[in-house]
Amino acid sequence: MDIIVVNDFLDVSQLQANDPEYKSVSNMDRSKIIPDMEVLVRRGQYVRLKVEEVNDEIIIGKVLTTSTWPQPFEQYDYIQFEKKNVIDIYDIDRWGVLY
């Protein structure tokens, strides 16, 4: 499996420092991310990913959405990113937000 490293997703904590009204999960919620969850990140547009592996602050996930913006990845690619990039967390059955 080839993994694409994406290091320019939205840094949610940095954004919230400038805009405290921006809604996202907390760092405590991010610490609970495990494989098979789905997460939302942003790089020009929102991207939904299925978490495949978690190693401390690094996540490897499979891209679930198609993109209308130029991205270094496509649907079903495996990418690596950081927990600080996660905006929202969903359960694997898409029954809604976990927080």
- Confirm whether 98 is domain-assigned: no
Half-sphere exposure of 95 (CA within 13 A, CB side): 4
Query: What residues of the chain score a pLDDT lower than 70?
Result: 91-99
The whole-number pLDDT of residue 1 equals 77
- Confirm whether 24 is domain-assigned: no
Contact 42, 71 (CB under 8 A): no
How many domains is the chain built from? 1
Residue 44's domain comprises: 3-19+30-90
The whole-number pLDDT of residue 90 equals 87
- Gap between the Cα atoms of 29 and 45, Å rounded: 22
The whole-number pLDDT of residue 99 equals 44
The whole-number pLDDT of residue 49 equals 96
- Confirm whether 76 is domain-assigned: yes
Report residue 26 as tokens. 């907390």
- Confirm whether 25 is domain-assigned: no
The whole-number pLDDT of residue 65 equals 92
